[in-house]
Amino acid sequence: MLAAVMILGMGEELWQRFIPKYLQFLGASAWAIALYGTLKDLLDAVYQYPGGWLADRLGRRVALVFFTLLAIVGYAIYLVSPGWQTILVGTVFVMAWSSLTLPAIFAIIGDNLPSERRAVGFGVQSILKRIPIIAAPPIGGWLIAQSGLANGIKIGLIITIVLAFIGLWIVNRGYRETARTTRDGESFVSIWRRMDANLKRLLAADCLARWAEGIPKVFIVLFVIDGLGMSSLQFGWLTSVQMLTATIVYIPIAKLADRLNRKPFVMLTFAFFALFPAALAFAQNLVWVTLAFIIAGLREVGEPARKALIVDLADANARGRAVGIYYLIRGLAVFPASLVGAWLWRMNLQLPFYVAAAVGVVGLLVYAFSSETATANVNTQKDRC
């Protein structure tokens, strides 16, 4: 699973962060670019529960193979796309890898690691997921600088298709299913009703933090390149700085989160979600923009703790579906954020970032003043899992 995550991630990150700029090149307006971001967020939401259901029903390996094949179809549509409208069609398939697989990946880590090692497990998964984000965007930026925007992205897509088939072969040949017990007949509603109240509190705060991320998300590349006058290659390197920062802090913080209360680490993550858009809005030169992207990397400081907490509190017999429900609700709550960002962007290029920072502060406060039991030490949850 980790090998597939890293290989497909290396392919997607060659071009993924440049798609808003590519849409602009194909004639898309700011609203059309926001529609792309909104579609991604919507698909990221609605794919979660089906992804979890398929992971529980078909098994983890078969589900991963199926999701990879869907993503390959999307890459091919991107490759031959004559206009921005077709990019939207391809996105329906491309999102299969990043969204449909998420509950399966959570479930695999939950199936194979005890509670006291899950934050480190998620830390390792997050590092391997982000190594491509460190390495690939500068390569993608270089391809664009050398070949032009359209040709550079198409070369990246061809590489991605090849890598996806390699990942498909690895999962199909190498993954071994673990024995598990499931309750196949249990409905969405019954799983939601039984969901731990502490997990629901975390979900509420997480939704606000993701609004802070989602409002400016698709406009970050436009703000850096068009607003601040930086190149595609510089943006690629800034993305690498962001991911390198996240990678450095993952394992040390994850080990602490496995040993101590998870709440302070989750709060720290939510704090950086609020700080990043403000820092980027105030940035005026490369030094300050780099600092802002370092802050963006620090948003991941509590992610292993948050993900481990979700798995800790999810029902072990319906783990894929429980994780799917969490991310389905979060995604449905957040997907309009890009449209709000477009409305603010048309008024002022910095306004989406200021509003996002304010929403992030609210999310931090909601979680900070929630019940202390919402992130009680993971040891109290061992029997449940």
Average pLDDT across each block of 10 residues of the chain; the chain has 385 residues. List them in order: 85 89 88 86 85 83 90 94 91 89 81 76 79 84 90 94 92 72 66 82 92 91 88 85 85 80 88 95 91 92 85 76 86 86 90 95 88 43 39
Q: Are 53 and 321 in contact (CB under 8 A)?
A: yes
Compute the residue count for the chain: 385
Joined tokens for residue 180? 């598990």
What distance lies between CA 195 and its chain's CA centroid?
A: 23
Q: How far is CA 364 from CA 22, 26, 205, 260, 303, in A?
A: 34, 38, 7, 20, 14
Q: What angle do CA 252, 254, 255 make, to 5 degrees?
A: 65
Q: Positive or negative CA dihedral for 13, 348, 288, 296?
A: negative
Q: How far is CA 330 from CA 107, 333, 337, in A?
A: 18, 5, 12
Indicate the DSSP class of residue 98.
I
Q: What gap in Å lies between CA 367 and CA 380, rounded to an integer?
A: 20
Q: Are 177 and 59 in contact (CB under 8 A)?
A: yes
In the block, residue with structure tokens 């991605």: 160
Q: Are 78 and 90 in contact (CB under 8 A)?
A: yes
Q: Domain locations in the chain?
A: 2-174+196-379
Q: Which residues of 186-223 are buried (b: 16+ CB within 10 A; e: fewer)?
A: beeeebeeebbebbebbbbbbbbbbbbbbbbbbbbbbb
Joined tokens for residue 17? 């962060």
Q: Are 258 and 308 in contact (CB under 8 A)?
A: yes
DSSP, collapsed to helix, strand or coil, labels residue 105 as: helix
Burial class (CB in 10 A: 0-12, 13-18, 19+), 280: buried
Joined tokens for residue 319? 């783990």
Which pLDDT score, from 0 to 100, does residue 383 have? 38
Burial class (CB in 10 A: 0-12, 13-18, 19+), 326: buried
Residue 284 phi, psi dihedral angles, 5° rounding: -125, -15
Q: What gap in Å lies between CA 93 and CA 71, rounded to an integer?
A: 5
- Other C-beta atoms lying within 10 Å of the C-beta of residue 178: 10
CATH architecture of 2-174+196-379: Up-down Bundle (1.20)
Joined tokens for residue 25? 């090149």
Which pLDDT score, from 0 to 100, does residue 178 have? 65
Q: What gap in Å lies between CA 101 and CA 269, rounded to an integer?
A: 23
Q: Are 294 and 245 in contact (CB under 8 A)?
A: yes
